[in-house]
Amino acid sequence: MDVLVSLCKRRGFIFQSSEIYGGTGAAWDYGPLGVELKNNIKRAWWRDNIHLRPDMVGLDASILMHPQVWKASGHLDHFTDPMVDCKACQHRFRADKVEEQSWIHYCPATKGNKFEVPAGEPCKHCNVRRSLCPDCGKGELTTPRQFNLMFKTFMGPVEEDAAVTYLRPETAQGIFVNFDNVLQSMRLKLPFGIAQIGKAFRNEITPGNFIFRTREFEQMEIEFFVNPLETIDGRPADEVWHERWIESRFAWYQRYGMRRENLRIREHEKDELAHYAKRTVDIEYQFPIGWSELEGVANRTDFDLKQHAQFSGKSLTYFDEERKQHVVPYVIEPSAGADRSLLAFLADAYREEEVRGERRVVLRFHPDLAPVKIAVLPLLKKRPEIVTTAHDLRATLARRWVTVYDDTAAIGRLYRRQDEVGTPYCVTVDVQTVGDSAKGESGDRCVTIRERDSMEQIRVPIAELPGIFERLLGDGAWADVARSYPPARG
């Protein structure tokens, strides 16, 4: 994880929030390349789950909502984590996560020497298990208390109880309270889904592990409404749709390059299920911190719509024309984190390779996710014709794809820098491209394209570049395109 954090800072992906004031461990800022990467992930999710499907529509609900929303949803009463405090150092922990961190131990069998013992293991000298504070190794922990994770604030200029509201801890409730608006305005028929991407806030007791757990983060959520009276092949429709969504979301991460062996499905045990959930699975990723949740896919039954109908006094039903009756739809909720997805895509793309005795770091991003698609590089920055041609090329290609120009180092170094941020293609303008007017030699108006993963190079006419990138950054494979052009010298 440290390697990723350092790369992210050095190359402008992610910075610690308010770093010049010492930073906060609970919030992070996306830099120039990070914002491109995150936008690309969100765009791919939106396109695949909304634009390409006939049964989905989008929504962008506000972060501040009527406080009753959180009473109805159960968040005010139940959105809590058990918290314990150290009586000596006052550090605070989530009671259910204390065993997941390494612990400090002053071992009596070694005259009180201090050791850091791995998470969940006993001390190998005295065989004792952790009972005190894992951070200081001295203080006792208090008994667990429930701590509500919602951020409280005031709506309007008066700080009084009547004005209390909350920053939303999930985007989902914005969808439920708009169910009828969307249903009526879009004339939808079940089954259909409403999707939303937006910020959520949770006052996590122990944020950490970089962007894995923060207090401000972005969610990509779908609420897919199903008629509970319907069956598909003799099975309840909600159960079948739940399986379809698990499959679809599991495949989505692989479509954008995540390796199958780093993904798994974890079924929630009965005692872990939320009281309203019929079934929940987590899609887990093998993060540098171990297997952890990337996305949850839950069958929330009719709980949310019924709760909001009861608290608001408004009907939130669907009229089933065929059966001539009102039904409260069941809902399947695939709920993903944009930041966690970004961390997983980043970890999966990261490779260290040995090339001709040199170490190269490369981010093997799927081209759709790569923050920069093309880098235009001049071989010699002292030759004005080369530089001008390269700038012109950048300007032309940038109309269609994110394209950068860089001349701040020798070509080998420039390639390595682009590899390190995952740019799939570099275009190099050299002497042969422009010729030498002093000697009366005209150039061949061809440039070199270098592919990031294979490091292969081909020589192509400038005039054909837009068409070539249309293929390469569309569905075309490098090998198919490269076959039509001569190789360039490496």
Contact footprint for ligand ATP (CB under 6 A): 170, 202, 204, 213-214, 217, 219, 293-296, 335-337, 339-340
Distances (CA, A) of 373 to 196, 363, 424: 27, 13, 6
CB of 91 to ligand ATP, least distance (A): 19
Specify the DSSP element, H or E, that contains 232. Answer: strand 231-232
CB of 26 to ligand ATP, least distance (A): 9
Q: Tell me which residue has its CB nearest to ligand ATP.
A: 337
CB of 81 to ligand ATP, least distance (A): 8
Tell me which amino acid residue 112 is: G
CB of 220 to ligand ATP, least distance (A): 8
Token pair listed for 54: 């006939």
d(CA 242, CA 327): 19
Token pair listed for 157: 């200029």
CB of 200 to ligand ATP, least distance (A): 7
CB of 353 to ligand ATP, least distance (A): 30
Print burial letters for 120-152: b (CB count within 10 Å at least 16), e (below 16). eeebeeeeeebebbbbebebebeebeebbbbee
User: What's the number of CA atoms in the CB half-sphere (13 Å) around residue 466?
Assistant: 8
Judged by beta carbon, residue 256 or residue 478, the one nearer ligand ATP is: 256
Judged by beta carbon, residue 213 or residue 308, the one nearer ligand ATP is: 213
Judged by beta carbon, residue 105 or residue 213, the one nearer ligand ATP is: 213
CB of 337 to ligand ATP, least distance (A): 2
d(CA 79, CA 205): 13
Backbone angles phi and psi of 145, in degrees to 5: -120, 150
Judged by beta carbon, residue 116 or residue 267, the one nearer ligand ATP is: 267
Judged by beta carbon, residue 195 or residue 336, the one nearer ligand ATP is: 336
Token pair listed for 145: 């208390």
CB of 204 to ligand ATP, least distance (A): 5
Judged by beta carbon, residue 277 or residue 411, the one nearer ligand ATP is: 277
CB of 129 to ligand ATP, least distance (A): 24
CB of 148 to ligand ATP, least distance (A): 14
Q: Residue 2 class from Cβ within 10 Å (0-12 exposed, 13-18 middle, 19+ buried)?
A: exposed
d(CA 349, CA 344): 8
Cβ neighbours around 366 below 10 Å, total: 17
Q: Residue 13 class from Cβ within 10 Å (0-12 exposed, 13-18 middle, 19+ buried)?
A: buried
Distances (CA, A) of 47 to 2, 51, 179, 405, 415: 33, 5, 21, 29, 31
Judged by beta carbon, residue 171 or residue 389, the one nearer ligand ATP is: 171
Judged by beta carbon, residue 36 or residue 295, the one nearer ligand ATP is: 295
Judged by beta carbon, residue 223 or residue 295, the one nearer ligand ATP is: 295
Print burial letters for 446-478: b (CB count within 10 Å at least 16), e (below 16). bbbbbbbeebebbbbebeebeebbeebbeeeeb
Judged by beta carbon, residue 272 or residue 353, the one nearer ligand ATP is: 272
Backbone angles phi and psi of 283, in degrees to 5: -90, 120
Q: Which residue, among 443, 444, 451, has the nearest Cα to 478 in the 3D structure? A: 451
